[in-house]
Chains A and B, each alone.
Chain A
Amino acid sequence: NAGVTQTPKFQVLKTGQSMTLQCAQDMNHNSMYWYRQDPGMGLRLIYYSASEGTTDKGEVPNGYNVSRLNKREFSLRLESAAPSQTSVYFCASRPTGDSNQPQHFGDGTRLSIL
C-alpha cells in the first residue's frame, strides 16, 4: 500500500552539486508531477508527465530536468544546485482514465542548498 514514494526524505547539498530526486508510484497512474513548496508561495509546478516518455514544463522549470523512463518512475534532477532551490519537493501521480481524479502525493523531500 505504498502509493507514491519519494527518496530521499532529506538532503543537504553544496552550491554547484548535482542531485536526482527519485519518485515512484505503484498505482499504475499515467500522469506524474513535480512541485516545489516554499513558504508563502504554495505549490508551484516544476514539470509534469502525461505518460511514459513525455514531459512538459510547468511554472518554474528553470534549473531542473526530469526523466520519465517508465510508467512507475519520474525523477527530478538538479544539475548545479543553487541556494534558491532550497525547498520542499513533492511528487504526485494521477490516473488519466477519469481526467479529474485527484493527485496523490508523496511525503516530500526537504532539500537544503548551502
Chain B
Amino acid sequence: AQKVTQAQTEISVVEKEDVTLDCVYETRDTTYYLFWYKQPPSGELVFLIRRNSFDEQNEISGRYSWNFQKSTSSFNFTITASQVVDSAVYFCALSINAGNNRKLIWGLGTSLAVNP
C-alpha cells in the first residue's frame, strides 16, 4: 500500500507552546519524496518543505523543524513557540511514481488551532 497517515485530526494549543504534527507513510518505492503543505483559513495551499528518502538530516527553518526517520517511516513537523498565525490545516504528502509522471498521496490533514 502507498498511503499517508496523519493520526491527529485536530490539535489545540495555547500561544508559545511547542507542537508536533505527526506523519507516518507507507510506500513500496525505494526512492521517494515527502512534503508538508499549509492551508491557512484563507484556503490557499502553501508548500513548506520537501524531503527525499536518502537524506535523513533534520531540517530547521525558523520556528519550524522537521524530523525524518526512515526506520519508523515518519516525517514529523514541529512548530516551536507557536503563534496564532500558525493556525491552519497542515498536510503531509508522499510523492509516488505514476507512469510517466509522479503524483502525490495526501494525508487527511491536521487542523491546528493556536489560541491567544
Instruction: Give chain A's interface residues, CB within 8 Å of chain B.
Output: 31, 33, 40-45, 48, 50, 54, 56, 58, 88, 90, 92, 96, 99-105, 107-108
Please measure, in the bound complex, the distance between the C-alpha atom of A77 and the C-alpha atom of B33, giving whole angstroms.
31
Q: How far is the CA of A54 from the CA of B35 in the complex (A)?
A: 25
Q: Known interface pairs A43-B91, A43-B106, A108-B43. Does A100 touch B100 (Cβ–Cβ under 8 Å)?
A: no
Contacts of A101 in B (CB 8 A): 50
Cross-chain contact B107 with A50 (CB below 8 angstroms): no
Taking Cβ atoms with an 8 Å cutoff, the residues of B that contact A are 33, 35, 43-45, 47, 50, 52, 91, 95, 98-104, 106-109
- CB-defined contacts of A50 to chain B, threshold 8 Å: 99-101
Specify which chain A residues have a CB less than 8 angstroms from the CB of B45 in the assembled complex.
90, 92, 105
Count of chain A to chain B residue pairs whose CB atoms are closer than 8 Å in the complex: 50
8 closest residue pairs by CB, A with B: A105-B45, A50-B101, A100-B33, A42-B108, A102-B47, A43-B106, A42-B106, A50-B100
Contact across chains for B108 and A41 when beta carbons are under 8 A apart:
yes
Name the A residues within 8 Å of B109 (CB-CB): 42
Question: Could you name 20 residue pairs across A and B whose Cβ atoms are closer than 8 Å?
Answer: A31-B101, A42-B91, A42-B106, A43-B91, A43-B104, A43-B106, A44-B106, A54-B100, A58-B103, A88-B43, A90-B45, A100-B33, A102-B35, A102-B47, A104-B47, A105-B44, A105-B45, A107-B43, A107-B44, A108-B44
Contact B104 A103 (CB under 8 A): yes
Q: How far is the CB of A80 from chain B (nearest CB, A)?
A: 27
A56 touches B98 (CB 8 A): yes
